[in-house]
Amino acid sequence: MRQQRVRRGTVMATSIIGIAALLLNGCSGGDDSESEGGVKNLTFAASTFGDPGRGPLLTQWLETFNSSQSEVKVTSAAVPYPTFGQTVLTQMGSGQGPDLIRFDMPEFESASDAGLVAPLDDLVDVSKYDLLKQPDQFMVHDGVRHGLIFEASNYAMFYNADLIKTPPKTYDDFLNTAKSLTKGDVFGLAFRQTEAEEAGVWQDIFNYVYGFGGAWSDGQTLTINSAKNLEGLQKYKDLYDANVIPRGADAATFRRMFAEGKVGMELNNGGYVSATRGQNPNLNFSVAPIPFPVRSQGAILAPIVINENSPNKEAAATFIKWALEPANQVKLQEILGASSVATVTERSPEKLKETPFLTVFDDLTDSSLPQIVLGFEAKTPDIRKVVVQNVIAALQGKVDLKTALDQAQQQATELVR
């Protein structure tokens, strides 16, 4: 079960250096929140609306809602992933922002801890829906529901089935396969390893920590420098040192390389299925569980929330209730690809024939965890920065890994006091 959340009275900054005060069209509190015809105009912000593969389909899904009734209209707003959290949190902290937001977990925790997210208990009766229990538990803080799952995307091992006939079953197999494939302009593996992709590095190393039995905390105390964490992150560093990855390549670059058959394996989430097919529909790839000793891996949990500043909370709840209807959940899941949605759904025979490995992702739901620090959820972005900076320093040879984790433990402990 989920650890009890530690409330720390986080104060949300109302300005962030380097982030412009971008105001999305149709933001809450604007003069045009209600049209002349009495229609409630809402804005739904999500980085996925900018996804070249899924974005247009999600926009069409919104239009299905808009055409289903005449009282509420929802308009999509795409903000790029690297700046999404900071941009939207800045708006919300200044009393503005979109009515509906699809957050990633660290920013969701920060927003809810700061009182920027509207409680949903009186707006949506969740007892009417068959919610997925494992991911849904993270939507409730101290007995108060602040969100509902929009997308739950478990991490697994993607592999090029033309290069790899039998997927690795152990870490040693994983390492040896990566080594054997690396030659010329082909690499056996790829992952993020630069400070510029801080959030992505955190997502990647999470699998190594939890896959080797580690954890960032015990729910009350940080355990960044534990022996298990060191073991898992040493495996990550061993792969880096083995030169089996395209060093310095960002995610966009090495994902294109995977689509082109120049990277053999990646650890990624279910949302990557649609993106990969969008880049190369003919790529022969498959998916298997991550071959680490412990079946425990990260998941991208993306809650949908209502902005506490929105003057149209009831209208926003109308959209959420529509989204939770069985037919609309099935359609959303089809758009999202290998991800799960808020409720228990059944994959169609057609979809399973088209993508047999969908069941691999679904079977990982009960062993997947959101990429937050349990007990320190609202401080995850701060802890993440400290951990990633120190781990990258170790990768680059500036300090040994044990010392790096000891430093991260000390610095993060000071941050959460």
Distance CA 199, CA 170 (A): 27
- Cα dist from 277 to 113, 258, 310, whole Å: 38, 11, 37
- Is domain 40-152+299-370 annotated with CATH 3.40.190.10? yes
For residue 36, the model assigns a pLDDT of: 53
- Cα dist from 11 to 43, 139, 307, whole Å: 25, 20, 17
Domain spans of the chain? Answer: 40-152+299-370, 155-296+371-416
Residue 33, both tokens? 């929140």
* Residue length of the chain: 417
Collapsing DSSP states into helix, strand and coil, what is residue 59? Answer: helix
Segment-wise mean pLDDT, segments of 10 residues, the chain, 417 residues: 40 33 44 66 95 90 97 94 88 97 93 96 97 95 96 97 98 98 98 93 97 97 98 98 97 96 97 89 97 97 97 98 97 92 94 94 95 93 96 98 98 96
- Identify any residues that bridge with 45 across adjacent strands, giving them in sequence order: 77, 101
Distance CA 252, CA 272 (A): 12
Right CATH number for 155-296+371-416 from 3.40.190.10, 3.30.420.40, 3.30.70.1230, 3.30.565.10?
Answer: 3.40.190.10
DSSP string of 157-218? EEEETTT-SS---SHHHHHHHHHHH-BTTBEEEE---SGGGHHHHHHHHHHHHHHTT--SBS
Distance CA 75, CA 41 (A): 8
Domains 40-152+299-370 and 155-296+371-416 fall in the same CATH topology: yes
